[in-house]
Structure 1
Amino acid sequence: MSTPQSGAEQSAEVERFRPTSGRFTGIVLLVSAFAVASLSVVQREHVIPEVGAAALFLGVVAWAVTLRPRISLVGDRLELRGAVDTVAIPLAGIEELAVRQVLAVRAGDRRYVSSALGRTRRQLMKAKAGAISLTASDPDTDPNSRVAAPNYAQYVEDRIRHRVDRARAAGGLTRGSTEQVALGSQVERSMAWPEIIGLAASAALFVALVVL
């Protein structure tokens, strides 16, 4: 029999989830940008500096937009790491969440979106068809009915919902209550300064090379 977790143990819980899309494209763009930027330095007679600076800028964009976004459960908060910032939302303050083509979370009467988790249109259509099929048949009496295994996006959504429900119960909060909305507004946001500086510096370098 498992023993109840203490507050310290719960606050130390960390679950990090891999992004569901964009990784391959981001890696290809990043490697290509690095290769072109390197050639502009090594082969100056064949690749003009402006092209190298543009490739450097696109490489930073590729990293920030496709590779940096990630979703994590860290203690009593849901962390949504985006292109240029990270938002930490109190789990007990989350009012609603849904995974469509992106993850959408509502907390403190505000909506937060993460592109790190999503379903393809095919997966959405398949899930809708499965829901209709289950409604039309009774899986307890119909031997031909089968519940499809959840995909990774569904698994992550279930994990987040589980942690949200547990945090809400631990705090004695009612969904949609004034207390929950107030807690949901206590969102912490930190800026991704390396990415912001990289974007600004590479863009400034490109402009300077074009002007000069």
Structure 2
Amino acid sequence: MAHHDHPDHEVVEQFHPTSGRVTGWLTVVLAGAVVVAGLAYLDDGFPPWVLAAGLLVGVLAWAAMLRPALWATREHLVMRNLADTVHIRLAAVEEMAVRQVLAVRAADRRFVSTVVGRTWRKTLQSRHRPGGTDTGAALAPTEGMHYADFVENRLHDLVDTARSRAGVRPGSTEQLALPDAVRRQRDWLPVGLIAAAVVLLVVSFFL
């Protein structure tokens, strides 16, 4: 993650994944074991396509389950997803909710992060966030609080503060007119790795 000297780019909250990391690491380790075994026994008849498939599965597990991240700066909510990174201006957020994934609406578009989410049962049991703009609330998870609830409250606090600073109300014309509401950056490393693994898998069927 790149850090910038400008205070608006300083990370004020790094949100931890609520699920998927253990499965992701297990998948990467197992896929790595397949690749190592394939390289070691390739001359002994180990199927090349199995080696290539293991590589593809490992790359996909890393890109889809381990690479995604979520953090907030003073001015932006940043979602790093499988193949891109989205910077959403906090003051431009129109709606936001944590269900099975985090869903954010800004600039008349919907953006999703799989980093934070609730189970289906927790989603049904979750209650609406109380009103108010007390930016001192929910600065840290309280005892017994589900982490997804903390994330939702904290994000609402950050959004409320950013809206107040920008002098806009949710859904207002002024909010919709905010410049640079969303910036999406394509991340070529995972795209290139996935493409290379797919090509290798296809080629392996002809070896």
Q: How does 1:148-163 map to 2 (within 5 A)?
A: 149-163=144-158
Structure that is richer in helix per residue: 1
Normalized against structure 2, the TM-score is what? 0.84
How far 1:74 moved relative to its partner?
Answer: 2.1
Cα shift readout 1:140-170 (whole Å, capped 9, x = no counterpart) = xxxxxxxx94210010111111111001100
Cα shift readout 1:75-97 (whole Å, capped 9, x = no counterpart) = 31000111111100000000110
How far 1:182 moved relative to its partner?
Answer: 2.6
**1:17 corresponds to which of 15, 18, 26:** 15
Query: Is it true that 1:56 corresponds to 2:86 in the alignment?
Result: no
Letter in structure 2 aligned against 1:153: A
Give 5+ residue unaligned stretches, structure 2.
Answer: 1-5, 129-142
Do 1:108 and 1:184's aligned partners in 2 also have CA atoms closer than 8 Å?
A: no
The equivalent residue for 2:32 is 34
What root-mean-square deviation, in Å, do the aligned CA atoms of Structure 1 and Structure 2 show?
2.0
Q: Which has the larger radius of gyration?
A: 1
Q: Please identify, of 163-172 and 116-125, the stretch whose mean Cα deviation from structure 2 is larger.
A: 116-125
Do 1:85 and 1:192's aligned partners in 2 also have CA atoms closer than 8 Å?
A: yes
Please give the alpha-carbon distance, in whole angstroms, between the structure 1 residues aligned to 2:124 and 2:71: 27
Aligned length: 188
Q: How does 1:184-195 map to 2 (within 5 A)?
A: 186-195=181-190
Please give the alpha-carbon distance, in whole angstroms, between the structure 2 residues aligned to 1:10 and 1:82: 22
Please give the alpha-carbon distance, in whole angstroms, between the structure 2 residues aligned to 1:109 and 1:81: 20
Please give the alpha-carbon distance, in whole angstroms, between the structure 1 residues aligned to 2:204 and 2:9: 49
**1:169 corresponds to which of 157, 164, 184:** 164
Q: Which runs of 4+ in 1 moved over 2 A?
A: 8-14, 124-128, 182-186
How far 1:181 moved relative to its partner?
Answer: 1.5
